[in-house]
Chains A and B, each alone.
Chain A
Amino acid sequence: MNKPVYYINGVGSISPQRTFNNDEFLPEISSYIENKLDCVLPEFKDYINPIQLRRLSRMLRAGLSAAIICLRDSNNQQPDGIITSTGDGFLRDTNKFLNEIFEFNEKQLTPTYFMQGTHNALAGLVALTLKCKGYNNTYVTSGLAFETSLHDAMMQLNADPDKTFLLGALDERDDAQYKIHLRTDNYKKEKINSRSLFDNPTRGTLQGEGTCFFSLSGQPGSNVWGLLKDVKVIHKPENANEIRSALHEVLTANDLRADQLDVLVNGVSGDVIHDQLLAEIVETELSFLPEVRFKHLCGEYCTASSFGLWLGLSILKKQVIPASVLFNGKKPKNPIKHVLLLNQYFGRNYSFILISSC
């Protein structure tokens, strides 16, 4: 049996940078100085009708807009199924509802906060908007939520390569969660400029958010961004060797040697402890590659690897690496064919995503 091929036929990204216009590629970089990165939002009315718009929370608006951007980009307005992923869900509505529970002593609460705080709210909203009665699923596998949703889409396409799945990741930043994670050193104690995330390695990272959608199919569309070749996940590896074996498995399974890769997208978070294993892998296995980083642009969140995938696909499609993301100054080969994304979330969840040009 031939190895199945998964085409990424469209993307849509809303993040703390200006990423919603697919004709541009990181035209300007926003800096954040409070260790919290909020999305740069598009004009929602370009994507959502006014009646629907009024009813939706900020992040549901962003998620639905990213889905519409992706659909338009793929020139395929009717997917066969919708798969979303989120680690923490709609944190602001969840926390608003929690606050009301305490403030009003469990009486006369706002149902909208509960309804729009549900983790599958976006998958339901997109299905409703597109009248898509097909497959619908939501993954909340903490720092591997996006990766497990990719696996689902790949398996769905193994069963029927002619189908198209709209895949979306979303996580939202919230102050309550910021304070809570500050206790456990997951965010930096000292305030830094987000652009200098990697300058002085200390404990903790920056709190980010974002939403990215991808159109996946076993058949090429009219605007292919790249091929999804492999997705590998590791939960709580015992040591760097466990990650190293996974890397070699990914390369072997795709008939590649490390020196055939063109760009490394490194999901280090600027946390001196949590980045240790990835740093060791990069230093011993992949140090010769042009290295791109992205969490100084989007911050850390459970589904941040979706921003990494958007970045990798943009590099493949535009054949250029913006200076704002190139970390080690190494020039890529021409053309750029294979991009490997490594990610870690809070030192617990690790993943590899391999993408290639057609």
Chain B
Amino acid sequence: MSPRVFVTGYGIISAIGNGSEENFQSLVNRKMGYGSIEILETIHREDLPACEIKLTDAQLYAIAQVKNFSGYTRTALLGVIAAREAIHRAGLSQQQIRKAGILSASTTGGIRELEKYYFELQDNSLDGYFDVFSDTGNPGEHTERIAEVFGIKGYLSTISTACSSSANAIMQGAELIKNGIIETAICGGSESLSKFTLNGFNTLMILDKEQCRPFDKTRSGLNLGEGAAYLVLESEVSMNASDKKPLAEVVGYGNTNDAFHQTASSPDGGGAYLAMQQALKMGSVKPASISYINAHGTATENNDLSEGLAIQKLFANNVPAFSSTKPFTGHALAAAGGIEAVFCMLAINKQMIFPSINFNQQMEELNIAPVKDLLRDVDLRYVLSNSFGFGGNTSSLLFGSVENE
């Protein structure tokens, strides 16, 4: 029997709020983060709306409680803010924090600052404060910054599997605990909007200028987002040593590859099906026991079809309630899995299912539809959270409620 791993804290900052309480209120009140870009400097501020956090870097420095302009990238600042809430909620002691591991995911780290000073940094005749951003194109840099702010020494790792990254960071945190390498893992991811990603997704022609509409017949692409979110995971031993009550349990997870196309999902959702199936198998949970799926649901034509078919195949005539929360937060890439894991924690703890807003028209290829309106007083025993990405990366996390233990 594999050792158990519990969730004891979570923290988040996204386009719909700073902190889990603000995020929860937005989810309940259907408040979306979508709008014109105001903080990132780009020519696409009006024509490519996104779910941007309307806080300047100076404001983020203050919230993160780190010295102003000391070389933190926006990605690192968002990470510090979310990790601080997670650590606080878990009530970790200084000793626990020091021995903990930090596993953070990011696709581009601080490329936003690298691109801002790209030419200055290559000009040897210039001297400037921008030197501190010389290595921020490296996605691992933000994790080192977060570790240093909190004095985390136990383990440090950065994962980049495109849009499934932070789901894999949560998996890796659980694995390190099960293997006895650490007792506590702070795991999730951070991502900030940048010219690089905005233009990158634009060249792939998968950005919708309107609000994204997951699992809707008229869907035509995703809205990008930014944010950071972390879970604190603790071992059974660590739980037993304190009188802390866990918030949920990491019951299972699956990581597979679609092996179909570099940037597209297979039409039948083969990888997605396998990832969900593996998560259920690891947790010895039957499909019929799943109460809710937080879908990847990016609202690209390709993803939602592929994911929808995979869900239908796995659950047959017994498809649980599912929704995509991407219209709220946008697609925060490497942070998406962390953000949605926090939403799953909120769902389990508040006994609610958050809606797939913007869903109106049934997809012809599917015989299932997402939850349109907030559901209250639902007993969520087991919840799946899907995260899929470029390169065929498909991951699924299975959380369990600990209410009845």
Contacts and interface: CB of A to CB of B under 8 A. Distances in A.
Interface of A: 82, 87-89, 94, 97-98, 101-102, 105-107, 109-111, 114-115, 118-121, 123-125, 127-128, 130-145, 148, 151-152, 155, 158, 176-177, 179-184, 233, 235-236, 302, 348
Given A133-B256, A155-B176, A140 B122 contact: no
B259 A152 contact: no
Nearest to A348: B144
B241 interface: no
A98 B138 contact: no
B43 A115 contact: no
B345 interface: no
Nearest to A122: B391
A180 B119 contact: no
A18 B307 CA distance: 45
A101 B259 contact: no
Contacts of B143: 141-142
B160 to A, nearest CB: 4
A124 B179 contact: no
A87 B136 CA distance: 11
A141 B142 CA distance: 10
A344 to B, nearest CB: 15
Contacts of A152: 172, 175
B137 A88 contact: yes
A183 B43 contact: no
Contact of A141 (B111, B118, B157, B393): B157
A133 B204 CA distance: 24
B139 interface: yes
Of A105, A158, A179, A180, most B-chain CB atoms within 10 Å: A180
21 contacts: A87-B138, A89-B139, A97-B196, A106-B44, A124-B257, A125-B391, A128-B261, A128-B262, A133-B270, A133-B274, A134-B257, A135-B255, A135-B256, A141-B158, A144-B140, A144-B157, A148-B157, A155-B178, A180-B121, A183-B121, A235-B153
Given A88-B138, A183-B131, 6 more contacts: A101-B199, A118-B107, A121-B390, A128-B392, A151-B181, A236-B148
A173 B157 CA distance: 23
B23 to A, nearest CB: 27
Interface in B248-266: 255-263
Nearest to A111: B203
Nearest to A123: B391
A101 B195 contact: yes
A250 B116 CA distance: 43
A120 B115 contact: no
Interface in B87-134: 106-107, 111, 114-115, 118-119, 121-122, 124, 131, 134
B168 interface: yes
B161 interface: yes
B233 to A, nearest CB: 15
A119 B139 contact: yes
Of A88, A114, A130, most B-chain CB atoms within 10 Å: A114
B347 to A, nearest CB: 27
Nearest to B133: A180
B42 interface: yes
B389 interface: yes
In order of increasing CB-CB distance, the 3 nearest A-B pairs are A124-B391, A142-B140, A114-B200
A107 B159 CA distance: 30
Contact of A120 (B122, B161, B195, B259): B161
Nearest to B200: A114
A211 B275 CA distance: 29
B402 interface: no
Contacts of B172: 137, 152
Contacts of B263: 115
Contact of A184 (B131, B162, B261): B131
B98 to A, nearest CB: 12
A176 to B, nearest CB: 6
Contacts of A132: 257, 259
Contacts of A118: 107, 162, 390-391
B314 interface: no
B141 interface: yes
B11 interface: no
A141 B261 contact: no
A135 B131 CA distance: 38
A57 to B, nearest CB: 12
Interface in B385-403: 389-393
B257 A136 contact: yes
A106 B43 contact: yes
A271 to B, nearest CB: 15
Contacts of B118: 98, 102, 176
Of B115, B200, B202, most A-chain CB atoms within 10 Å: B200
Contacts of A89: 139, 160
B321 interface: no
B262 A115 contact: yes
A110 B200 CA distance: 9
A139 B262 contact: no
B192 to A, nearest CB: 16
Nearest to B256: A133
Contacts of A144: 140, 156-157
B336 interface: no
Nearest to A112: B203
A236 B140 CA distance: 14
A302 B140 CA distance: 10
Contact of B393 (A115, A136, A184): A136
A110 B147 CA distance: 36
Contacts of A120: 160-162, 389-391, 393
Contacts of A107: 43
Contacts of B140: 87, 140-145, 302
Contacts of A134: 256-257
B137 A94 contact: yes
Nearest to A156: B175
B157 A181 contact: no
Contacts of B270: 133
B255 A119 contact: no
Contacts of A183: 121, 124, 131, 134
Contacts of A184: 131, 134-135
